[in-house]
């Protein structure tokens, strides 16, 4: 639909855009990214015909844009400019109605019922109907932004050009506006070309991104292809971390603020508090965690770790909610706590600091095996009223990659299973060696200090510490709970 072939252009003979080529198809949501002054607005002005190309050509539906009259072009393309501090003397309704200009013979003279219908529709869509008789001047920046979007939509263009459309909008309106544009693209085939400063919004909504730097194309691809840590660092001169969005398959870039480094912290027994009711560990800094606890499960940052004793017939339809109430009652901030439950006597806990020098590990285990299961054979129907959960906490005094977190869990699970095998713990349903219990939980937490540990398999120092410590501490915890130590 729109094709830019080797386009160059700028101001007063000074080139800003150089040799840019790309095509945008009908119904595509296309994002333009780049640092301040890289030429994004200039490129948008060239597409809308406001600035002429000094080289190359811009074609709309196979016709050079210079061959369209201004009014013809306005029926095809609408522009939502960056909001500036102009004085707007029109009312909201009048401002939006100006968008129908391209469809009329003269301003307001031939106002038709179709114009009125479109006007009402776009004011509804942008949620500005209630301000329609107010002066644009008296609206907030975000409200004005929506008025000008309504004006652009009233043009009923094939292509909508937007310069940072979410500027001035609060979180909900940012989402509403971009949802509206996406819907327009998907359902009505509206082609959206938009400048973004927010890489994450661009990633969420755009089908493809163009990254420009000093007026030249640096990358043109899907969000995943353009938003790489290396490219963003090079173009924006700033450190970022790439992470997948938790709900949809789009990348998100996280800034890393300077001066966020806190003092070195080593997690050890001095931070552990064993009581009859619960075992707690309080870290002076938030730790990066991966856990299967009742609370604080998944990936997160936590400072408090609670292993709470519950009666063996604890039965609750919403254990997470109940646990949160418990944590709050005991003055733990539930949003920063990993909480687990066990029915074993907490004084039977086994723990120890393993390793020294570059990496060390503080391992804490509570273990009951009354509920031991062989995961390869159990049908899950056989349950005993005997306490039986193995809760393993691994505090790594080091910095872990995500794969190291996952491998730490694998290595710990292998070591736990080996302990059960050596102690001859069996599944009472299948009469075979148990692999764990049906309600085991695990936590891996890391201080994030020191050299990066990329792996935690048994070939690494960390993996060996995990294997040995989980094996030993689980064995001691089981033997204690069985009254053997």
Ligand X SMILES: Nc1ncnc2c1ncn2[C@@H]1O[C@H](COP(=O)(O)OP(=O)(O)OP(=O)(O)O)[C@@H](O)[C@H]1O
Q: How far apart (Å, rounded) are the C-alpha atoms in residues 132 and 110?
A: 20
CB of 82 to ligand X, least distance (A): 7
Q: How far apart (Å, rounded) are the C-alpha atoms in residues 234 and 237?
A: 5
CB of 1 to ligand X, least distance (A): 23
Pairing verdict, β 350-354 and 337-342: unpaired
CB of 163 to ligand X, least distance (A): 7
Taking the least distance from each CB to ligand X, the nearer of 34 and 99 is 34
CB proximity list for 130: less than 8 A, separation 6 or greater: none
Taking the least distance from each CB to ligand X, the nearer of 193 and 306 is 193
Contact 8, 17 (CB under 8 A): yes
CB of 42 to ligand X, least distance (A): 3
Footprint of ligand X (CB under 6 A): 11, 16, 34, 36-42
Tokens 């019922």 belong to 113
Taking the least distance from each CB to ligand X, the nearer of 162 and 341 is 162
Six-digit token string for 179: 């949802």
Contact 301, 319 (CB under 8 A): no
CB proximity list for 234: less than 8 A, separation 6 or greater: none
Taking the least distance from each CB to ligand X, the nearer of 38 and 373 is 38
CB of 464 to ligand X, least distance (A): 51
CB of 36 to ligand X, least distance (A): 4
Six-digit token string for 311: 């009666």
Taking the least distance from each CB to ligand X, the nearer of 16 and 118 is 16
Query: What are the C-alpha distances in Å from 248 to residues 58, 210, 243, 252?
Result: 34, 21, 11, 10
DSSP 68: S
Q: How far apart (Å, rounded) are the C-alpha atoms in residues 84 and 78?
A: 17
Contact 126, 180 (CB under 8 A): yes
Taking the least distance from each CB to ligand X, the nearer of 16 and 58 is 16
């Amino acid at each position: 639909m729109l094709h830019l072939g080797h386009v160059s252009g700028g101001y007063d003979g000074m080139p800003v855009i150089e040799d840019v080529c790309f095509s945008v198809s009908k119904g595509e949501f296309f994002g333009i990214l780049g640092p301040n002054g890289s030429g994004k607005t200039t490129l948008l002005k060239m597409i809308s015909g406001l600035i002429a190309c000094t080289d190359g050509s811009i074609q709309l539906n196979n016709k050079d844009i210079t061959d369209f009259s201004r009014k013809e072009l306005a029926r095809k393309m609408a522009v939502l400019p960056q909001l500036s501090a102009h004085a707007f003397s029109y009312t909201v309704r009048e401002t939006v109605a100006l968008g129908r200009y391209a469809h009329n013979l003269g301003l307001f003279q031939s106002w038709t019922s179709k114009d009125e219908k479109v006007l009402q529709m776009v004011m509804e869509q942008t949620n500005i109907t209630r301000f329609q008789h107010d002066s644009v001047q008296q609206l907030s920046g975000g409200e004005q932004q929506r008025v000008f979007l309504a004006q652009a939509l009233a043009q009923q263009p094939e292509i909508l050009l937007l310069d940072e459309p979410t500027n001035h909008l609060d979180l909900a309106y940012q989402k509403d506006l971009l949802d509206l544009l996406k819907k327009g693209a998907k359902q009505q085939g509206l082609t959206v070309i938009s400048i973004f400063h927010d890489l994450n919004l661009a990633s969420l909504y755009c089908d493809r991104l163009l990254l420009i730097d000093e007026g030249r194309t640096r990358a043109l691809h899907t969000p995943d292809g353009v938003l790489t840590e290396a490219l963003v660092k090079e173009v924006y001169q700033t450190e970022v971390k790439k992470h997948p969005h938790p709900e949809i398959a789009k990348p998100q870039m996280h800034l890393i603020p300077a001066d966020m480094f806190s003092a070195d912290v080593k997690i050890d027994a001095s931070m552990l508090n064993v009581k009859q009711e619960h075992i707690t560990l309080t870290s002076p800094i938030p730790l990066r965690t991966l856990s299967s606890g009742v609370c604080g499960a998944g990936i997160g940052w936590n400072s408090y770790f609670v292993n709470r004793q519950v009666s063996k017939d604890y039965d609750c339809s919403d254990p997470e909610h109940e646990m949160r109430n418990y944590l709050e009652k005991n003055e733990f901030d539930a949003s920063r706590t990993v909480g687990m439950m066990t029915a074993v006597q907490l004084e039977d806990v086994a723990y120890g600091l393993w390793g020294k020098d570059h990496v060390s590990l503080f391992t804490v285990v509570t273990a009951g095996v009354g509920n031991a299961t062989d995961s390869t054979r159990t049908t899950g129907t056989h349950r005993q009223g005997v306490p039986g959960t193995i809760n393993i906490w691994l505090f790594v005094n080091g910095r872990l990659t995500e794969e190291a977190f996952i491998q730490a869990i694998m290595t710990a699970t292998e070591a736990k299973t080996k302990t059960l095998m050596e102690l001859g713990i069996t599944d009472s349903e299948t009469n075979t060696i148990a692999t764990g219990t049906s309600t085991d939980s695990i936590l891996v937490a890391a201080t994030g200090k020191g050299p990066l540990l990329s792996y935690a398999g048994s070939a690494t120092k960390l993996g060996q510490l995990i294997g040995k410590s989980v094996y030993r501490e689980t064995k001691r915890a089981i033997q204690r709970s069985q009254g053997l130590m």
